[in-house]
Amino acid sequence: MTRGFKIPKRVTTEIDFEGEVIKIDAEVPEQEPEPIPEDKKLNIIGKKVPRINGEEIVTGKAKYAFDINLPGMLYGKVLRSPHPHANILNIDMSKAEKHPGVRAVINLNKKNVRYVGEEIAAVAAVNEEIAEEALDLIEVEYEKLPFVVNINRAMEPGAPRVSPDGNISKPRTRERGNIEDGFKEADVVLERTYKTQVEVHNCAEVHGSVAKWDGEKVTVWDTTQATHGVRRSLAKTLQLPESNVRVINHYMGGGFGSKLGLNVHTVAAVNLSKIAGAPVKIMLTRKEESYCVGNRPGTIQTLKGGAKKDGTITAFHYKSHNNGGVGSGGSNASPIWDMYQCPNCLIEESSVYTNTDASRPMRAPGYPQGTFSVDLFLDELAENLGMDPLELRRKNYTTKNRGGTGTPYSSKGLDKCYELGAQRIGWNRRNKKPGEGKGPIKRGIGMASEIWGGSGGPGTQLDFRLITDGVVEIRCGTQDIGTGTYTIIAQVAAEELGIDIKDIKVMIGDSDYPRSGSSGGSNTAASVCPAIRAAAADIKGKLFAIAGPLLGENPEELDVGESKIFVRNNKSKSISFKEACKQITEGMLTSNETRGPNPKGYAFSTFGAHFSEVEVNTLTGKVKVIRHVAAHESGRSINILTSENQIQGGTVQGLSYAFFEQRIMDEQTGKMINSNYYDYKTPTAMDTPQIEPIIIDSVDPVLNNLGMKGLGEPPRIPSHAAMANAIYNAIGVWIRELPITPDKVLAALEERKEG
Amino acid sequence: MTRGFKIPKRVTTEIDFEGEVIKIDAEVPEQEPEPIPEDKKLNIIGKKVPRINGEEIVTGKAKYAFDINLPGMLYGKVLRSPHPHANILNIDMSKAEKHPGVRAVINLNKKNVRYVGEEIAAVAAVNEEIAEEALDLIEVEYEKLPFVVNINRAMEPGAPRVSPDGNISKPRTRERGNIEDGFKEADVVLERTYKTQVEVHNCAEVHGSVAKWDGEKVTVWDTTQATHGVRRSLAKTLQLPESNVRVINHYMGGGFGSKLGLNVHTVAAVNLSKIAGAPVKIMLTRKEESYCVGNRPGTIQTLKGGAKKDGTITAFHYKSHNNGGVGSGGSNASPIWDMYQCPNCLIEESSVYTNTDASRPMRAPGYPQGTFSVDLFLDELAENLGMDPLELRRKNYTTKNRGGTGTPYSSKGLDKCYELGAQRIGWNRRNKKPGEGKGPIKRGIGMASEIWGGSGGPGTQLDFRLITDGVVEIRCGTQDIGTGTYTIIAQVAAEELGIDIKDIKVMIGDSDYPRSGSSGGSNTAASVCPAIRAAAADIKGKLFAIAGPLLGENPEELDVGESKIFVRNNKSKSISFKEACKQITEGMLTSNETRGPNPKGYAFSTFGAHFSEVEVNTLTGKVKVIRHVAAHESGRSINILTSENQIQGGTVQGLSYAFFEQRIMDEQTGKMINSNYYDYKTPTAMDTPQIEPIIIDSVDPVLNNLGMKGLGEPPRIPSHAAMANAIYNAIGVWIRELPITPDKVLAALEERKEG
């Protein structure tokens, strides 16, 4: 039967429809270009390409949300709870409303607040000072309630209740095999406890939103990792069609997960703007940025593991308590569950609720925590077995997920990371006996492994145009959260079309462009780039259909390069790309081709190994990282420069997690006492070692048309664990709690002496 | 061989490449949805649907170029030549530049001006008054030259030369058969001369542009029928990539051809804005609108024709001289060349150059002129043959173009127009003997035929999105020049998807949307609507692929209607459209499908016949049109209300052409002396008869997926000729020169009495 339409691509998904999971797998023709062979010489992909908009950024021309200033714009401020736990008995906003210069006041109608900083009301005024004054004029009558901000205290019997169901959630468990059997098989069994601190995202750019209404439509300039996600959530909140909401985010100064999802201050700006009839800007202060926009949960993790004499791991039993504040504590278990061969595994994880800001995904949520325990544990296990720690990891290497019991990885270059990383750091230089060095300053070398997802997926929609003047315009609702999305998009399009990157205009960060997913989970590059390539290939085909007759050749025989279209077997027969474009009689060629779904039957992960060399001053307890080698396999790298930047940035964040950062709560007041850049320590350039990235630039053989995976989160995962293992190698004592501050080093050394 | 791309549609075009015409016809799979069967019951297509943005327009919310006011905006004015022909010896702009409030002055570097109103320089100032003052301060030294503004004078030997090659262009000729043979076969041969006036477009909204630079990018709000065309021309002029130029035109108050192409004042606004570093607005005055933005050429046409006794036309010889001002006089010949069966035909047309503003396409360029001669001629020929004029037309009816010698029309409903129009007006009521009525007030009935193109074609690019909330967003670079494009786009999408028109958001009139062609030649609807349907069908198919599994049915078996997706053979098995949309896991479905090329082997034209009843006061010479029946066949009508509006508007313009409008030039000064609404006469509501549209709502069997043709220009073509023929039927004297003013009527009556 002939139908009045054509189903143009494979739709493969599982959806939850009225409680029933339905598999969708409709038949459609193949649209994807074939993968680029690994040995093909490429012009711009896989090179060190500077940011195409670098000049705009460094010269201040790039418009961040903070830079949006509109005629008649008002300034908004949010009233936040000064109490960690209280009932709100009454709010009187009348004085604030009458304050000269105030244009709108809104009450968020909270009956109860559960952490310091929770939003209660908001105001908009002609300037920030008046808005601040108005906040002071809002009279809130609180009934203070008992509270707890410390994870240990929260777990004590009789602690003030944060959640009506108690402060410790029912454990989320995962199990395979039988750990009792596993431990019976083991020759060595250890159990150790590891602790990690609460870390805040601390973006260089604070959160903020500028809202402007035009009739029933609202435009929001927002600091967000999810341009389309915020549009959808906001539309739902405002009960408007999505088409009436536009979210713009052309530039962003870091998000790390804290800028996923719709924020209360954004909704406040939108509502204040509606009431006031004028645009409203709310930018958070550094203080608010520190304690009101999420954090990485602190953890108390206990890992019990067993191994045979030859190093074969027989069982893991992992228990963790994660401080999620008033939210979820999340999960840290994947590095334990997936990374090493292990047939018997039991995971038990509980959230612990405290009267602090809800946790939020932070660069590789859970993985740095889990890696800290498993990689320190493995080093200690290796010592007990009399094995080299790297050999122990190699012994338990697996090419399937779920600790060797699951699905094969599409590609896994961790072995190469081990080989090249060990070679680069000089692994054989490490102390045979930990702490054996002479004198008060000891050196040591350690390592840790990394696993993460980042395979990307379908869901990027495009509007790809080739204009008669030979310029490409790409519109896509993805965003650049500081990671270089603009540049890699341009690279892929320029490569596929064989033209200069200057002729690719990339327009992203606007929900008026076709939808693309959030930038999270290291999925942006591997979702967007293959879609760009598919659309560019589609456009190329359309252009070949024009160029073929011009050259008197079958379009199938054409290829591109050096801004020319040429005959594949006779390169001298060519016409310039721009000349061919002039012949586009319809003015432009367009495509909305996109990538297909990931193939079935594979697990997709990225891998890496970090090797660190440290120097510990045993008199002062101060640790200095001397060198850090970071080897990563994330499939094909589109831009080596950007990949290296990610590795360096991730490693520095790991260094910071290892030695500097921690949120400190005052147990008397429930307030964060280091909510500023001075007291909340992060490393400076002087604290940062030489970081040597190694990019295993392989090509995933089955995953998407570029064989690429993500690299946003991976470098953040293992560095602190490699450093901690290096410290042990230097001084022969374990420090199992982060951050590793001089006092902890000295105390551990002291304990060892005593012990 | 497997290729890394897919050639996704048929590319059929002829292009001029390095002087060689190359046919492109590349093989691609069919993407078009099948035509809707003529008998299918439709919900919203073919109904009287009010404008979806009617409220915006009538409440003043719609933003026209004039409504754009930007912070810091300056006002521009153009210095125009006061002389019809002069050399420019010197321009001194220094005083203007120093005038307080002036921000930029530009010299257009003209050495010569050839008509009053030609652009010489432009200024931008903080307000319009200062800009006007500055114009007066620009000192131009002219050397005045002889000039001619009258077509008859221009053709005289020794007349001042407008063009170096003489004032009469070499005739453009077309010929078929042999007219000498044709005239030999004829029993009756007549030769008559017809004259038409120069008419100006006189849009309710004057031309204007607002230009705003942002770095290397410029945005122009322009009154234009060619959003993308102006973008391309402007980019070429400024030597910028097209991507750096954005042209916006969300609403427009009439163009009629005068708003095609890039205008000098637009370039001036852009350049002034660049120099001043601020936005610049230039809106023309009514006076400038009257004499500087084009016109319909005046003509002197001589038509010689022969026919056999039975009415068979044997030959036409048509000569025309068209006053194109300093531009081309165009062609009027198509109604003579194509419309009636005629094997022998010779066309000779010359432009006559005068020192007046260049002509520009005006609603059905040339056709009202050509129709005036051929339809009056046929009536006179019929009388000579003793035949009914309508019978003579039926006798020479043809279903092929080129007067029956060419390609068959895909559809031609002119016979139905004749039948229904004659019936409605009461054709048998006409005077058997012209002028036979008693008393000083005489009535008569006349008719005329219409042919025009308007088949549309490929070239509309789309960005069509279906969002999870069930709302459709359509972005397309076409424009609504007042004709209702927004509404018909929404209708077609709503029909194809079976949903409420309120859920279709139409975004057009912005070159940031994918390219669509100019709105000219009655091609907008028939180009855009089939593309919309193709994209909607594509989206529907994608949605069926999701809905099929939900309903447990093959997607091929589904259909839409009443905001539901249902099983074709079991309507009760359905899910709501919005519910299905919620399951779009990728957030939105997108399509950039578009219509294919028109099929080969056919000629495509629209047809119509107007029937007019007039009352002539033989004492005053005043003519009153009593009733006017306008029957049109343009394939399927998408919106009956809009089609009727077009017919009424076109008929009123024809009435105006028949009796009111003419540009009057002062031969002493070379200036237009009626460049305002008071002196340049147009009809008021009181002058307008009852107009009765008859829409032959047939479906073209091969043309595009909706079987539709255009209706923008057709109603403008025959009305004045029908009125002139009715006057003859009333009073028995021919008035062969437009406009038919009372003095001409009285003079003709006088002449008849004398004769």
Rounded Cα distance between A708 and A530, Å, is 8
Domains A65-145+206-291 and A413-447+604-755 share a fold: no
B108 contacts B264 by C-beta, under 8 angstroms: yes
Rounded Cα distance between B2 and B18, Å, is 32
Mean pLDDT, chain A, whole residue set: 94
Q: Which of B1, B2, B5, B34 to mutate to test the interface with A (most CBs of A within 10 A)?
A: B5
Out of A5, A13, A31, the one facing B585 most closely (by C-beta) is A13
Residue A32 has pLDDT above 60, yes or no: no
In this prediction, residue A33 has a pLDDT band, given cuts at 50, 70 and 90, of confident
Cross-chain Cβ contact B583/A71 below 8 Å: no
Cross-chain Cβ contact A34/B590 below 8 Å: no
Residue B697 has pLDDT above 90, yes or no: no
Cross-chain Cβ contact A555/B34 below 8 Å: no
Cross-chain Cβ contact B459/A587 below 8 Å: yes
Closest CA to A591 of A489, A462, A460: A462
Confidence (pLDDT) at B10: 40
Architecture (CATH level 2) of domain B11-59+456-591: 2-Layer Sandwich (3.30)
Pick the CATH number of B407-451+603-755 from 3.30.1490.20, 3.30.365.10, 3.10.180.10, 3.30.2290.10: 3.30.365.10
Cross-chain Cβ contact A505/B28 below 8 Å: no
Rounded Cα distance between B165 and A525, Å, is 63
Cross-chain Cβ contact B585/A1 below 8 Å: no
Rounded Cα distance between A255 and A519, Å, is 9
**End-to-end Cα separation, chain B, in angstroms:** 84
Looking at chain B, the whole-number percentage of residues with pLDDT higher than 70 is: 96
b/e A131-164 (16+ beta carbons within 10 angstroms → b): bebbbebbebebeebebbbbbeebbeeebbbbee
Residue A23 has pLDDT above 80, yes or no: no
Out of B22, B34, B462, the one facing A549 most closely (by C-beta) is B22
Confidence (pLDDT) at A11: 45
B317 contacts B304 by C-beta, under 8 angstroms: yes
Confidence (pLDDT) at A18: 57
Confidence (pLDDT) at B459: 87
For the stretch B173-200, pLDDT in tens is 999 999 999 999 999 999 999 999 999 9
For the stretch A154-194, pLDDT in tens is 999 999 999 888 999 999 999 999 999 999 999 999 999 99
Chain B residues lying within 8 Å of A554, measured CB to CB: none
Rounded Cα distance between B140 and B91, Å, is 4
Confidence (pLDDT) at B99: 98
Confidence (pLDDT) at B40: 87
Looking at chain B, the whole-number percentage of residues with pLDDT higher than 90 is: 90
Report the SS3 class of residue B572: strand
Chain B residues lying within 8 Å of A13, measured CB to CB: 585
The domains of chain A are located at: 11-61+456-591, 65-145+206-291, 152-201+297-406, 413-447+604-755
For the stretch A222-273, pLDDT in tens is 999 999 999 999 999 999 999 999 999 999 999 999 999 999 999 999 999 9
The CA distances from residue A455 to A451, A628, A695, B348, in Å, are 12, 26, 17, 70
Confidence (pLDDT) at B27: 43
In this prediction, residue B17 has a pLDDT band, given cuts at 50, 70 and 90, of low
Chain B residues lying within 8 Å of A556, measured CB to CB: 1, 3
Chain B residues lying within 8 Å of A473, measured CB to CB: 243
For domain A413-447+604-755, give the CATH number.
Answer: 3.30.365.10
Interface size A-B, in CB pairs within 8 Å, comes to: 186
CB atoms under 10 Å from CB of B407, counted, come to 13
Mean pLDDT, chain B, whole residue set: 94
Mean pLDDT of B413-441: 95
For A382, phi then psi, to 5°, come to -60, -45
Fold of B65-145+204-291: Aldehyde Oxidoreductase; domain 4 (3.30.365)
Rounded Cα distance between A119 and A302, Å, is 35
Cα dihedral: B230, B232, B236, B238 (round 10): 60
Which of A513-527, A610-624, B346-360, B591-605 has the weakest average pLDDT? B591-605
Cross-chain Cβ contact A463/B459 below 8 Å: no
Rounded Cα distance between B540 and A4, Å, is 10
Fold of B169-201+298-405: Aldehyde Oxidoreductase; domain 4 (3.30.365)
Residue A484 has pLDDT above 60, yes or no: yes
Confidence (pLDDT) at B25: 55
Architecture (CATH level 2) of domain A11-61+456-591: 2-Layer Sandwich (3.30)
For the stretch B286-307, pLDDT in tens is 999 999 999 999 999 999 999 9
**Looking at chain A, which residue has its C-alpha nearest residue B12?**
A546
Report the SS3 class of residue A196: strand
Fold of A65-145+206-291: Aldehyde Oxidoreductase; domain 3 (3.90.1170)
For the stretch A438-466, pLDDT in tens is 899 999 999 999 999 999 988 899 999 99
B64 contacts B205 by C-beta, under 8 angstroms: yes
Mean pLDDT of A537-543: 92
Cross-chain Cβ contact B514/A585 below 8 Å: no
Which of B384-388, B583-587, B631-635 has the weakest average pLDDT? B583-587
Cross-chain Cβ contact B541/A5 below 8 Å: yes
In this prediction, residue B7 has a pLDDT band, given cuts at 50, 70 and 90, of very low
Rounded Cα distance between A558 and A665, Å, is 65
Residue A215 has pLDDT above 50, yes or no: yes
B692 contacts B578 by C-beta, under 8 angstroms: no
Cross-chain Cβ contact A537/B5 below 8 Å: yes
Q: At A531, list the tokens.
A: 């879609």
For the stretch B440-495, pLDDT in tens is 999 999 999 999 999 998 889 999 999 999 999 999 999 999 999 999 999 999 99
Q: Which of B6, B245, B248 to mutate to test the interface with A (most CBs of A within 10 A)?
A: B6
Confidence (pLDDT) at A16: 55
Out of A4, A465, A591, the one facing B537 most closely (by C-beta) is A4
Confidence (pLDDT) at A39: 83
CB atoms under 10 Å from CB of B27, counted, come to 9
In this prediction, residue A20 has a pLDDT band, given cuts at 50, 70 and 90, of low
Residue B755 has pLDDT above 70, yes or no: no
In this prediction, residue B23 has a pLDDT band, given cuts at 50, 70 and 90, of low
A592 contacts B591 by C-beta, under 8 angstroms: yes
Confidence (pLDDT) at B35: 81
Residue B15 has pLDDT above 90, yes or no: no
Closest CA of chain A from B602, distance in Å: 21
Residue B583 has pLDDT above 70, yes or no: yes
H-helix or E-strand containing B750?
A: helix B742-754
For domain A152-201+297-406, give the CATH number.
Answer: 3.30.365.10
Rounded Cα distance between B657 and B720, Å, is 7
Out of A26, A232, A537, the one facing B4 most closely (by C-beta) is A537
